[in-house]
Amino acid sequence: MSRRASSNRWYATQSRDPFVKRREAAGYRSRAAFKLKELIERDRLCRPGQVVLDLGASPGGWSQVVGPLVGPAGLVVAVDILPMPPIAHVNFICGDALDDSTEVAIKHLLGERLADLVLSDMAPNLSGIRASDEARSLALAEQALSVARNFLRLRGTLLMKLFQYAGTDAFVRTLSLHFERVARRKPEASRRQSNEFYVVATGFRL
């Protein structure tokens, strides 16, 4: 498929997507906000006063959702290697979550608190080479788990995006070693043809 044909197909898909129109009407920065809203409502993931760590946050759609939910008594720390325009009451750190400097910045913002909820909507730039895409996807998943183990409180929750590859099921089983309950979710806003899904891991344990 030519680049022009691929671009035309993408625009056609976007024009038919009801969540794109809803995103524009609601003022969200990404349609992924509706995925998070559904998951939060289904699994009761976010409450006033909570501390939320949002990984891969840019352009900010998920932070826009959780900010009002945790309210002024809560705290949202968003992290991404890409810049993100400011969002009211959201603390943004531009950097790799595994870098020492970023870890120090997260600890500074959290103070004496730990996260109640760690979010990860991180996804690799796809190359079309399956083995490479799988390796990149799982590397990001491992990174999200590593950050969660550093900053999540006991019995806290990790919500992360995964892609179904050969090694994905093994990673999900690894999550079960660190959480009491691990459930797969496919929000309505996830396109049917996509191999993405979400995991809600609750009851963090060391």
What average pLDDT does the segment 186-197 reach? 86
Give the pLDDT of residue 16. Answer: 63
Give the pLDDT of residue 24. Answer: 67
β-bridge pairing 152-163 and 115-120: parallel
pLDDT in tens, 173-184: 999 999 999 999
Type and span of the H or E element at 82: none
Is the pLDDT reported for residue 32 higher than 70? yes
pLDDT in tens, 34-48: 999 999 999 999 999
Q: Active site includes 186?
A: no
Looking at domain 29-204, its CATH architecture is 3-Layer(aba) Sandwich (3.40)
Give the pLDDT of residue 191. Answer: 75
Which position among 21, 35, 37, 161 bears the catalytic label?
161
What average pLDDT does the segment 97-103 reach? 94
CB-based contact 179:172 (threshold 8 Å): no
What average pLDDT does the segment 134-143 reach? 93
What helix, strand, coil percent values describe the chain, rounded to 5?
45, 25, 35
pLDDT in tens, 50-68: 999 999 999 999 999 999 9
Residue 197 has φ and ψ, to the nearest 5°, of -150, 170
Identify the DSSP state of 162.
Answer: E
Domain segments of the chain as ranges: 29-204
CA 175 from centre of chain: 16
